Chain A
């Protein structure tokens, strides 16, 4: 299963020093998380201690040690969005999905995260869902937006 895919990714980058983060990013993109077997595989092939791989994987926000939901909802928590009411949007998403930032809904549909800045400050407050940006939101419009995803 995923071990083959992990192997393919490792083959692509080679076992050079310094590739660990790039490897993990690609595994994250392919599998939507970093499963434990991926870590053991990297350990075996690249001879990097498991502790070191875990350390890297838990340090960076783009890498997730838990499976993510089918849809990734990222609420921008950048300063520009913040002063334009970002926290209220986050509240509203949390209330609608009944989870807190960093969690995944029970049905595995949504994972909610905050992101430091998406760089489209003109659209603030912004929410990104699966790479699509939704700007100038109000807390009243959140429920309707989320209901479009299944």
Chain B
């Protein structure tokens, strides 16, 4: 492997890679990122290897391991090339069929296609699947095409062209100008204009200057950055090198949380390969520009994702934020000027350099350009990663792409922005999703987590969940966050336990106000958002908990009771056998009763009661009806489901 010394070397290499690739050669591509792995893709790959051996296809059909294409709900996902046939929810037992029918005889297997749950129609192409149809996958599309462990795959797609263009056809100032013109805003949550951030680091006094990738994706329910780093690490690296060139930096850090071992591994491989090709380290592409980068693994602290905290963590210290009047762009890592951007922000840079700022700005809305990747999760049918142009409405994301709410339940709210964000209710579903519109609703865009909640989600409990999360993760440095959140948690704990008092809501609002005004860092300042938005939009739920001691969503343990409806109970003994504390009394043929004194409200009986009976019910705000008389508990044969 000779280091590339010029853009024409890179172009030659690209042509060579393409020439060696036969576009009509059969191949299997499987997503091996964390989601599909958890669903068993490794078993499928093993089955493919065995089956190829058995059929004498070993070495004749390539097996490609690629990144995440977003549709985690329907994983493991397999693509058969050259026909580009997408199969979903593939099991190892499906593999012999795929090999003998699709690979060898070009026959498709209908049952492995995506089946539209509404029309029942099988989708042969990705564009026929609603989940993909409404997306604009500028960043994520390549995930299915490249093997993240092979730089050649990335180069074949035109990778590092933007770097060559920046180094040879543009001055650092021109690169900076282009990024400014594109109006790209930080994808990590803040939405600060990237170009301006770069400019202040560039103009700041002090050497060396650092550039940093933030992949400390700590928001619960968010996995966009992981997918990008696992699936296409070179796109991030290319963006980083271009940024370093524009800023005048020769040293960078990639901060990845240790909970993402595969992302660390793939990024490490990417760095080694890029260096071998002369795309990293000394004299990049023969341009004379030097840039080195190190990976720093985060050790698990939510607050370390905050930019100044992340920089102290890089120094090997406790990752605590610093006051913001000292800008990290001027005094960051070891007090040197440092430009930190989120993974997704960096990955957008090559697109902007290749296609121009005007092209980029034409996507999305005026104030929020480009696309944004969201992690759609919770009570939605199609969980997964969704990349859409900024400005799409929440309704379109939840219903058109997400396929609506699971199990036919009713939508209640969508939580955006992680613990710093808020819950947006149904009446605002038609709001466009961009940095400014979400802020108007009291939430934030954040890094892109989007958790859908249905009628079974208790909003007071959700607020308590986030406050509890932030209490645990508060670094403890400043009083409003450390003490204020603790008090808020106590009040919320009381409310969900049925001990809420008049005036609690007002007190929560007061704490929220003080915390957002006086906390040191953005995490503390935004910590009150989940409380404030739930109070603003779901005040009735708070009132029900406090005044009626009732949880309308039937979630809060202390406010609910489990009860077996004798009219529906088929005395099948399922709940009786599964109850971990033996609180269910009964036998086959004898209607079951829950001993309320023994019941720990774990919900197991509710889970195991067959949907055909739905005899176990949750009650709140009403007393549990007394048990029926002993003699009426026997079910006669032929009645209800007792016969089974």
Are B72 and A121 touching (Cβ within 8 A)? yes
Are B375 and A121 touching (Cβ within 8 A)? yes
Are B603 and A121 touching (Cβ within 8 A)? no
List residues of chain B with CB within 8 A of the CB of A95: 580, 600, 602
Are A117 and B221 touching (Cβ within 8 A)? yes
Interface string of A35-73 (1 = CB under 8 A from B): 000000000000000001001100111110000000000
List residues of chain B with CB within 8 A of the CB of A118: 34, 259
Tell whether B73 is near chain A: CB-to-CB under 8 Å: yes
List residues of chain A with CB within 8 A of the CB of B75: 122
Whether A78 touches B220, Cβ cut-off 8 Å, given contacts A18-B315, A21-B316, A123-B35, is yes
A18 in complex: contacting residue of B261, B316, B453, CB < 8 Å? B316
Q: Which residue on B lies nearest to A121, using beta carbons?
A: B377
Tell whether B218 is near chain A: CB-to-CB under 8 Å: yes
Tell whether A112 is near chain B: CB-to-CB under 8 Å: no
Are B35 and A61 touching (Cβ within 8 A)? no
Tell whether B260 is near chain A: CB-to-CB under 8 Å: yes
List residues of chain B with CB within 8 A of the CB of A92: 580, 602, 604
B457 in complex: contacting residue of A61, A83, A88, A119, CB < 8 Å? A83
Are B297 and A120 touching (Cβ within 8 A)? no
Interface string of B454-468 (1 = CB under 8 A from A): 000100001001100
Interface string of B535-556 (1 = CB under 8 A from A): 0000000000000000000000
A114 to B236, CA, bound (A): 30
List residues of chain B with CB within 8 A of the CB of A78: 220-221
Are A61 and B378 touching (Cβ within 8 A)? no
Tell whether B383 is near chain A: CB-to-CB under 8 Å: yes
List residues of chain B with CB within 8 A of the CB of A124: 377, 383
B316 in complex: contacting residue of A20, A117, A139, CB < 8 Å? A20
Are B316 and A59 touching (Cβ within 8 A)? no
Are B259 and A115 touching (Cβ within 8 A)? yes
Whether A55 touches B379, Cβ cut-off 8 Å, given contacts A62-B300, A119-B226, is no
B602 in complex: contacting residue of A25, A84, A116, A139, CB < 8 Å? A139
List residues of chain A with CB within 8 A of the CB of B375: 121
Tell whether B38 is near chain A: CB-to-CB under 8 Å: yes
Are A25 and B258 touching (Cβ within 8 A)? yes
A135 to B34, CA, bound (A): 12
Q: Which residue on A lies nearest to B603, using beta carbons?
A: A88
Are A80 and B300 touching (Cβ within 8 A)? no
List residues of chain B with CB within 8 A of the CB of A120: 34-35, 38, 72, 223
Tell whether B219 is near chain A: CB-to-CB under 8 Å: yes
Residues of A within 8 A of B (CB): 17-22, 24-25, 52, 55-56, 59-63, 77-80, 82-85, 88, 91-92, 95, 115-124, 126, 131, 133-135, 138-140, 143
Residues of B within 8 A of A (CB): 34-35, 37-39, 72-73, 75, 217-223, 226, 258-261, 296-302, 313-319, 375, 377-379, 383-384, 415, 418, 449, 451, 453, 457, 462, 465-466, 469, 473, 475, 578, 580, 600, 602-604, 607-608
What are 26 inter-chain pairs, A to B, with CB distance below 8 A? A19-B316, A22-B297, A52-B317, A56-B318, A60-B319, A61-B299, A61-B300, A63-B300, A79-B378, A82-B462, A82-B465, A91-B600, A95-B580, A95-B600, A117-B220, A118-B34, A118-B259, A119-B34, A119-B217, A119-B260, A120-B72, A122-B73, A126-B38, A138-B604, A140-B578, A140-B604
